[in-house]
């Protein structure tokens, strides 16, 4: 089986190399058949890569320990689902997943837009270049198909990865990371071909939205995994690898907003190119961080030889993007200017500046320890206060802008109109702020501000829907006619829920930590937790213990059983126990470990986290909004097809 | 081992045939030149984009006016220039279209 996997990877490498070399030559010399042939090479690279992926999946499913990769990441007793998830649990497998998703996306995006030949001719080699790098790594540097004499059992899987969320979190992140290659390839294709009109934006609009949605949901699922599995009581630790996924998402968020200004006003063409390149290069940087071992993270793989290759490729892509943008600057310049600093496009611009500022400060936080280690030989870390400071500095104004933007008209807004549209949301925000202050929420000013701003944004969203419905007569008609706008508002509502959940669970959480004997109790935020005893547990590949804790308070009575699992091969891991309160939408989070070697004393940690479940609810609302925004609109499709039929073949959007 | 190599060989043959397909299907084409937009067609496309922007801006203004985001006074001040701009672009597009129709045959749309 391994030779088939290796052969498929070599063939995929040859195909994407052909797409790069022949595609570039064909686009340069305007050779139609050669360009078509290069396009076909890219199309067939996906099924060929799929064969390699199937070989690896079969080996994982069979626990074929002759595959070095299988023995390093699974064991005979590992349940089948987790054994298959080892596909993305190791370095070589996740590189293969990158290539699989990339060739799949590239093939589909190129095929859907095949009639825009001039643009596609240059897009194919860009896709080819990225795919050549990943297939080269898989063929010659880090192959998942290395074989060995089969050991009696494998090394198993890291216990924290043996969680159902790990079946979805990495693939979703990859769908997002790799998805950002599509707008990048089309943008660079547009620069290379000189087609700097909106064709590349039209071709990639939904791809960008989809990649952004996957990246967002992937991060949220990852946060939930960290919350229930890692057992430190939180869901986001500003870990470099977590930040690595957040940065391209922020850059893509900025792009999704600024691209609307290009479509509506023909402005910001250079800025949009920069943002697309930034988002893609940050997704590469994220992969580099996870793969290279330059940073110490629970999410990253161990030190490996591929970091240098990644860094070189990243530098190449950054330089290539910068040179192309600089080269085509005359084509990207526009005469249209911002008419007023108080307009919808101006608020989008402020939103962009804040998003990019937040993204770059996070990037600096990630880079600083690496640079200080490389330059001075000192290991320094950037901790939570740094990130919290910039989250408050840029995040809170961003939240406020999310409410202001929809209330401001395009082009120019007069003070009189603003007074009229702002009255209700402003009133709601003031009343909310005062009531919360009276109720004692002033203990955290960032928390109080976040809640107040959330009230403002929520009121502005509701107002937009109410006024829109009055104007069109039906909420469904309203959304159907303006999917991007109202889908976007639903995504804003998701961000409001997220902000309320984050503020509640961080600014207003209660934490207790105490060693208890059976019968002893601990109190936290109105809950009384009594430790009643220990029990043993046994699973297919682990044994362990659970501390039995009975909880009462707020009119509720329930039991929790935090503890520890001891995996036969992989070692110990904490198992948190969480009670979700459906009334307050908060959680009682507990973790427990034996305190000392003898007896049944336990160290019980308790976190009471108000409103934390709104964060997970926000994920569903976010997906709903994103799907509405990207759902095809037949009228718009016809309009765009007619537009491009005027100058080129009809657009296959 | 042998079956794996056989599958790999079949895969390689299918891939090569698929990649060579444009040359196999059309071994001696009248023209092998890749389509590209002529300058005139690029101009027309830019005008079409501008027309869509102008019409979308008018639609947006109407909607913002109906939902109370734009006052009557602001609406009156903005709608005139937007309509003029849309009309200018439509005229330019029609002018270009007429000039294109007058040329027989139509060589302007594509470079051969």
How many A/B residue pairs have CB atoms within 8 Å?
155
A534 with A558, same domain: the answer is yes
Stated pTM of the model: 0.91
A98 and A13 together in one domain: yes
Find the closest chain B residue to A643 by CA distance.
Answer: B48
Does A138 lie in the same domain as A41?
yes
Q: Is residue A561 part of a domain?
A: yes
Kindly tell me the burial class for residue A530, based on how many C-beta atoms sit within 10 Å of its own C-beta (0-12, 13-18, 19 or more). Answer: middle
Residue A202 lies in a domain: yes
Same domain, A207 and A180: yes
User: Do A141 and A187 belong together in one domain?
Assistant: no
Burial class (CB in 10 A: 0-12, 13-18, 19+), A596: exposed
Final residue in a domain of this structure, among A95, A123, A157: A157
User: What was the pLDDT predicted at A104?
Assistant: 97
List Cβ neighbours of A487 (8 Å cut-off, separation of 6 or more). Answer: A479, A625, A626, A627, A628, A629, A630, A631
Q: Are A116 and A203 in the same domain? A: no
Rounded CA gap, B106 and B100, in Å? 7
Q: Which residues of chain B have pLDDT under 50?
A: 104, 106-112
Which residues are A560's β-sheet partners?
A: A549
Give the distance from residue B32's alpha carbon to the nearest chain A alpha carbon, in angstroms. 5
Give contacts of B12 with chain A, Cβ < 8 Å: 7, 11
Q: Does residue A12 sit within a domain?
A: yes
Round to whole Å and give the CA distance between B9 and B15: 10
CB–CB of B5 and A197 under 8 A? no
- Cα B13 from Cα B19, distance rounded (Å): 10
A 48-67 residues inside an 8 A Cβ radius of B = 48, 51
HEC assignment per residue over A10-59 = HHHHHHHHHHHHHHHHHHHHCEHHHHHHHHHHHHHHHHHHHHHHHHHHHH
| Mutant choice from B20, B23, B37, B44 vs A, greatest count of A C-beta within 10 A | B37
Task: Verify cis geometry, omega within 30 degrees of 0, for the bond prior to B105.
Answer: yes
Within this chain, do residues A302 and A176 fall inside the same structural domain, yes or no? yes
| pLDDT number for residue B24 | 94
Complex ipTM value: 0.83
Q: What angle do CA A336, A337, A343 make, to 5 degrees?
A: 120
Amino acid A452: pLDDT:
96
Report the distance separating Cα A604 and Cα A147, nearest Å.
Answer: 46
Please give the backbone phi and psi of residue B99, each rounded to the nearest 5 degrees, phi first: -60, -35
State whether A151 and A200 are in the same domain.
no
Could you tell me the CATH number of the domain that includes residue A578?
Answer: 2.60.98
The rounded distance, in Å, linking the Cα atoms of A14 and A60 is 26
d(CA A517, CA A547): 11
A8 neighbourhood in chain B, CB within 8 Å: 8, 11
Q: Which residues of A touch B89 (CB under 8 A)?
A: none
Q: Are A24 and A129 in contact (CB under 8 A)?
A: no
pLDDT of residue A299: 54
From the list B7, B37, B49, the residue facing A118 with the nearest CB is: B37
Provide the 3-class DSSP secondary structure of residue A544.
strand
* Relative orientation angle of helices A199-225 and A613-630, to the nearest 10 degrees: 160
Please, which residues 450-469 of chain A have a Cβ atom closer than 8 Å to chain B? 464, 467-468
Asked whether residue A182 is assigned to any structural domain, the reply reads: yes
Residues A191 and A152 in one domain: no
Residues of A in contact with B76 (CB under 8 A): none
Q: Are A144 and A96 in contact (CB under 8 A)?
A: yes
Q: Which of B1, B6, B8, B28 to mutate to test the interface with A (most CBs of A within 10 A)?
A: B8
- The answer to the question of residue A636 being in a domain is no
Residues A128 and A256 in one domain: no
Q: What local confidence, expressed as pLDDT, does residue B100 receive?
A: 66
Test A468 with B44 for CB contact under 8 angstroms.
no
Q: Would residue A140 count as lying in a domain? A: yes
Q: Which strand (E) or helix (H) includes residue A588? A: strand A587-594
Q: Residue A194 and residue A559: Cα distance in Å, rounded?
A: 66
Cβ pair B19:A121 closer than 8 A: no
B35 interface with A at CB cutoff 8 Å? yes
Residue from A264, A646, A651 to probe the interface with B (highest B Cβ count within 10 Å): A646
Q: How many CB atoms lie within 10 A of CB A66?
A: 16
Residues A460, A462: Cα–Cα separation, whole Å? 6
Structural domain harbouring A43: 1-157
Helix runs in B1-112, H state only: 2-25, 39-66, 72-102
What are the chain A neighbours of B57 within 8 Å (beta carbons)?
A: 264, 410-411
Q: A414 contacts in B (CB within 8 Å)?
A: 71, 73-74
Chain A within 8 Å of B37 (Cβ-Cβ)? Answer: yes
Query: Facing residues of A89 across strands?
Result: none
Query: What is the reported pLDDT for A304?
Result: 66
Q: How many CB atoms lie within 10 A of CB A609?
A: 28
Phi-psi region of A225 (alpha: psi -120 to 50; beta: other; left: phi over 0): alpha
Q: What is the 3-state secondary structure (H, E, C) of A367-387?
A: HHHHHHHHHHCCCCCCCHHHH
Q: How far, in Å, CA of A469 to CA of A479, rounded? A: 9
What angle do helix axes A2-29 and A117-136 make, rounded to 10 degrees? 150
The set of residues, in sequence order, having a beta carbon less than 8 Å from that of B107 and lying 6+ positions away, is: none
Say what the pLDDT of residue A293 is.
64
Using a CB–CB cutoff of 8 Å, tell me whether B49 touches chain A. yes
Whether chain B has a CB inside 8 Å of the CB on A44: the answer is yes
Predicted pLDDT at A374: 79
Total number of domains constituting chain A: 3
- B29 part of contact set with chain A, CB < 8 Å: yes
Q: How far apart are CA A168 and CA A182, in angstroms?
A: 22
Between chains, do A3 and B20 touch, taking CB under 8 Å as contact? no
Residue A87 lies in a domain: yes
Shared domain for A152 and A11, answered yes or no, is yes
Q: Is A30 within 8 Å of B41 when comparing Cβ atoms?
A: no
Residues of chain A with pLDDT under 50: 648-653
Sign of CA dihedral A96, A84, A291, A288: positive
Q: Domain boundary residue among A137, A157, A177? A: A157
Residue A588's alpha-carbon distances to A506, A556, A604, B97, in angstroms, are 13, 12, 12, 70
A625 within a domain of the structure (yes/no):
no
The minimal CB distance from B48 to the residues A8, A411, A646 is found for: A646
Same structural domain for residues A111 and A133? yes
CB neighbour list of residue A98: distance below 8 Å, 6 or more residues apart: A134, A174, A177, A178, A287
Which residues in chain B have Cβ-Cβ distances shorter than 8 Å to A646?
A: 41, 44-45, 48
Q: Do B12 and A7 touch (CB under 8 A)?
A: yes
């Amino acid at each position: 089986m391994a030779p088939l996997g290796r052969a498929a990877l070599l063939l995929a490498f040859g195909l994407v190399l052909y797409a790069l070399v022949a595609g570039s030559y064909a686009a340069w010399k305007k050779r139609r058949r050669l360009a078509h042939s290069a396009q076909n090479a890219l199309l067939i690279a996906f099924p060929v890569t799929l064969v390699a992926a199937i070989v690896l999946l079969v080996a994982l499913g069979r626990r074929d320990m002759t595959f070095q990769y299988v023995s390093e990441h699974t064991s005979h007793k590992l349940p089948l689902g987790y054994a298959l998830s080892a596909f993305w649990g190791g370095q070589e497998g996740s590189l293969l997943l990158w290539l699989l998703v990339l060739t799949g996306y590239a093939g589909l995006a190129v095929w859907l837009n095949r009639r825009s030949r001039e643009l596609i001719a240059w897009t194919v080699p860009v896709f080819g270049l990225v795919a050549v790098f990943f297939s080269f790594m898989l063929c010659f540097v880090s192959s998942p198909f290395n074989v060995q004499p089969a050991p009696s059992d494998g090394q198993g899987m890291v216990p924290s990865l043996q969680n159902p969320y790990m079946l979805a979190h990495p693939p979703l992140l990859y769908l997002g990371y790799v998805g950002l290659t599509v707008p990048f390839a089309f943008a660079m294709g547009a620069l290379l071909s000189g087609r700097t009109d909106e064709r590349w934006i039209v071709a990639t609009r939904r791809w960008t939205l989809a990649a952004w949605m996957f990246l967002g949901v992937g991060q949220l699922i990852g946060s939930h995994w960290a919350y229930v599995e890692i057992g430190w009581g939180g869901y986001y630790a500003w870990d470099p690898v977590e930040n690595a996924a957040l940065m391209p998402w922020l850059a893509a968020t900025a792009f999704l907003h600024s691209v609307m200004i290009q479509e509506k006003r023909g402005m910001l063409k250079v800025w949009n190119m920069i943002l697309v390149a930034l988002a893609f290069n940050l997704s590469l940087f994220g992969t580099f961080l996870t793969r290279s071992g330059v940073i110490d993270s629970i999410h990253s793989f161990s030190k490996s030889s591929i970091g240098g290759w990644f860094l070189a490729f990243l530098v190449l892509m950054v330089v290539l993007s910068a040179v192309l943008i600089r080269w085509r600057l005359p084509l990207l310049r526009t005469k249209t200017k911002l008419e007023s600093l108080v307009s919808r496009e101006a608020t989008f611009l402020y939103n962009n500046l804040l998003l990019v500022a937040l993204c770059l400060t996070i990037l600096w936080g990630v880079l600083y320890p690496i640079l200080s280690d490389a330059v001075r030989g000192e290991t320094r870390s950037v901790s939570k206060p740094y990130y919290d400071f910039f989250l408050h500095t840029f995040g809170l104004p961003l939240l406020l802008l999310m409410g202001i933007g929809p209330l401001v008209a395009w082009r120019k807004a007069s003070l009189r109109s603003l007074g009229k549209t702002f009255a209700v949301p402003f009133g709601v925000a003031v009343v909310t702020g005062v009531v919360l202050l009276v109720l004692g929420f002033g203990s955290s000013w960032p928390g109080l501000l976040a809640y107040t701003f959330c009230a403002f944004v929520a009121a502005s969203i509701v107002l937009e829907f109410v006024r829109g419905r009055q104007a069109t007569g039906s909420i469904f008609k309203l959304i159907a006619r303006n999917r991007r706008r109202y889908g976007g508002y639903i995504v804003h509502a998701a961000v409001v829920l997220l902000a309320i959940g984050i503020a509640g669970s961080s600014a207003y959480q209660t934490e207790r930590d105490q060693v208890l004997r059976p019968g002893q109790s601990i109190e936290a935020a109105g809950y009384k937790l009594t430790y009643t005893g220990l029990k043993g547990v046994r699973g297919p590949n682990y044994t362990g213990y659970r501390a039995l804790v009975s909880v009462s308070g707020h009119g509720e009575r329930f039991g929790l059983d935090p503890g520890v699992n001891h995996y036969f091969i992989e070692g110990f891991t904490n198992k948190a126990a969480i009670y979700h309160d459906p009334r307050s939408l908060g959680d009682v989070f507990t973790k427990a470990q034996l305190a000392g070697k003898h007896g049944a004393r336990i160290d019980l940690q308790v976190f009471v986290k108000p409103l934390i479940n709104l964060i997970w609810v926000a994920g569903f609302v976010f997906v709903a909004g994103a799907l509405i925004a990207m759902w095809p609109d037949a009228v718009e499709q016809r309009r765009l097809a007619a537009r491009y039929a005027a100058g080129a073949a009809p657009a296959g959007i | 081992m042998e079956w794996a190599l056989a599958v790999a060989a079949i895969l390689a043959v299918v891939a090569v045939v698929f990649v060579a397909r444009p040359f196999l299907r059309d071994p001696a084409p009248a023209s092998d030149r890749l389509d590209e937009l002529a300058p005139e067609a690029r101009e027309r496309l830019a005008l079409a984009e501008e027309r869509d922007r102008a019409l979308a801006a008018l639609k947006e203004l109407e909607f913002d006016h109906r939902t109370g985001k734009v006052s009557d006074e602001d609406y009156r001040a903005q709608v005139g220039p937007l309509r003029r701009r849309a009309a200018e672009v439509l005229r330019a597009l029609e002018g270009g279209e007429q000039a294109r129709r007058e040329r027989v045959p139509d060589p302007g749309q594509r470079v051969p």
